[in-house]
Amino acid sequence: MFKFSYHILLLILKAAFTLKKSAQETVTIMKDLEQKHQGKFDPSAIKKAARFQGVQQVFINDAFTQLVDRNSSSFESTSNKLYFTLTGLYDDIIDQQLIDEKTLNQLFEDPTLTQTNLFETKVLVDVHLNLLNRVKNISDYKSILTKVHQAQKDSLQQINTQIDKDALLDITLRKGGYSLLMCKQYIDLPNSKALDQCWYHLGGVIQITNDLFDIYKDLQEGIQTIPNTTKNLNDIEIVYNQLVHNFIQSLHQLPFEKSKIDILKIKLSPIPAFGYIAIQNLSKIQGQQNTLPDLNKIPRKDLIIDMEKTVNRIKLIQEAYKVYKTN
Rounded to the nearest 5°, which phi and psi values hold at 99? -135, 160
Q: How confident is the model at residue 77 (pLDDT cuts 50, 70, 90)?
A: very high
CA distance 34 to 122: 10
Q: Are 38 and 19 in contact (CB under 8 A)?
A: no
Q: How confident is the model at residue 116 (pLDDT cuts 50, 70, 90)?
A: confident
Q: Are 58 and 82 in contact (CB under 8 A)?
A: no
Conformation bin of residue 299: beta by default, left when phi > 0, alpha when psi is -120 to 50: beta
Output 102 or 143, whichever has higher pLDDT. 143
Q: Are 275 and 205 in contact (CB under 8 A)?
A: yes
CB atoms < 10 A from the CB of 277, how many?
20
Rounded to the nearest 5°, which phi and psi values hold at 255? -85, 60
User: What are the pLDDT digits (tens) for 265-296?
Assistant: 999 999 999 999 999 999 999 988 889 999 99
User: What are the pLDDT digits (tens) for 164-187?
Assistant: 899 999 999 999 999 999 999 999
What confidence score (pLDDT) does residue 209 get? 97
Q: Does 147 have pLDDT greater than 80? A: yes
Quick one: how far is CA 103 from the chain centroid? Answer: 26
Read off the pTM: 0.92
Mean pLDDT, to the nearest integer, of 108-131? 80
Q: Does 65 have pLDDT greater than 80? A: yes
What confidence score (pLDDT) does residue 114 get? 67
Q: Does 32 have pLDDT greater than 90? A: yes
- Report the candidate in 234, 249, 137 with the shortest Cα–Cα distance to residue 186: 137
Quick one: how far is CA 119 from the chain centroid? Answer: 25
The per-residue pLDDT of the chain, averaged, comes to 91
Q: Are 205 and 180 in contact (CB under 8 A)?
A: no
- Residue 110, exposed/middle/buried by CB under 10 A (0-12, 13-18, 19+)? exposed
CA distance 61 to 181: 11
What confidence score (pLDDT) does residue 149 get? 85
